[in-house]
Amino acid sequence: MPGFASIIDQDRSVRILTTLLYNGTIPHALLFTGIEGVGKESAAAEFAMACNCAMGGSGASPERGHSRTAQPHDDTSRPKTRIPCGNCKSCRKIETGNHPDIIRVKPFGLFIKIGQIRALCQTLALKPYEARMRVVIISDAHTMNPAAGNAFLKMLEEPPVRTILILVAPHTSDLLPTIVSRCQHLRFKPISKKFLAAALVHDHGLDAGEAEIITAMAGGSMSRALRMHRTQWINRRNWLISEMESLSTGSVNRLLAFGEQLAKNKDTIQESLEVMNSWLRDLIVGKLNPEKVINRDLIQKIQRAIQKVSTASLLEKIETIQTTQNAIQAGTNLRLALEAMVLKLARV
């Protein structure tokens, strides 16, 4: 699906981007914020395609300059369409990641380092090879270390010609305020459950039941929802809930084995802990408003479990899991933290 139509449930951000293209008032720096998996990177790529589409996708330059063939007040300086065609040579190169003037900067390890920004500065000192507008997409811009951030700030203060800088980050608070102030900010919201479920069914082939369950836990993130589908998350959720229900009757060895199993897959630990949190939350909410539970397909199991545990105990369990999540993010020993959590959950 060519153009911004592939960006799901981000009408406001897409409207702003297409207006910038249509009016030819593209700023030298844009900042896209929002949680993972809501279309920020895709929108950046589509914007780069629109700026360089050979079929007339935008044809507009930022206010500081115009294309070599367009005059400031000539109709040719205005875009012919609001979306890229997706079929021309330029669009195809950008889509496949092979365009020499669409530059992507990503963290090297945990951080974007000053060496990467210096190398970028050297590249941007040269003219674009073939693009009408060169576009730099900086993924996880919040991972720039202080030296890199300061070097990038200097670039923003003296922006390269025929170049658009697009920063992608979760929150504005993760970046230097001086960087944020020099960018036009677009916030990408979490995808609504209605749009996310529909996309999972129609675009990715999930059945409606699975899509509804995954949507409830995906937090508005398409990439998270697809990862949950790919890893058979519903089966893992059911296993986690079963283990939690049997914690109070399990032997110490079994409890430690559960903690060890949780620690085996580092990539899914936080999601597993969120599943456990959502289950405990549902037991609290289910007492007051069953319509608000997350795991709606397990409503009967929830109603049975409600009778066996107090709200005070559930709140203490939730606090235990959240404390463990914070400890893991702070870099504590993974297995020890999870084993300690499981033992405490069994006692509460």
Tens digit of pLDDT for each residue in 191-243?
A: 999 999 999 999 999 999 999 999 988 999 999 999 999 988 899 999 999 99
| 3-187 under CATH 3.40.50.2000, yes or no | no
Question: What pLDDT band is residue 296 in, cutting at 50, 70 and 90?
Answer: confident
Tell which residue, 143, 147, 151, 186, has the closest CA to residue 166. 186
- Asked if 233 contacts 290 with a C-beta cutoff of 8 angstroms, the reply is no
Q: Band of the pLDDT at 270, cuts 50, 70, 90?
A: confident
Instruction: Give the pLDDT band of residue 57 (cuts 50, 70, 90).
Output: low
Which contacts qualify for 271-276: CB closer than 8 Å, 24 or more apart? Answer: 271/224, 271/228, 271/233, 272/236, 272/240, 273/321, 273/324, 273/325, 274/217, 275/217, 275/236, 275/237, 275/240, 275/241, 276/240, 276/244, 276/321
| 78/38: higher pLDDT | 38
- DSSP per position, 40-55: HHHHHHHHHHHHH-TT
What CA–CA distance (Å, rounded) separates 332 from 324? 9
Answer left, alpha or beta for residue 183, where phi above 0 means left and psi between -120 and 50 means alpha.
Answer: beta
Fold topology of 233-347: Zinc Finger, Delta Prime; domain 3 (1.20.272)
User: How many CB atoms within 10 Å of residue 13?
Assistant: 21
To which residue do tokens 């959720």 refer?
Answer: 237
DSSP 137: E
Q: Mean per-residue pLDDT for 162-191?
A: 95
Domain extents for the chain?
Answer: 3-187, 191-230, 233-347
Residue that has been written with the tokens 């809930």 in this structure: 241
Average pLDDT of the segment spanning 134-144: 96
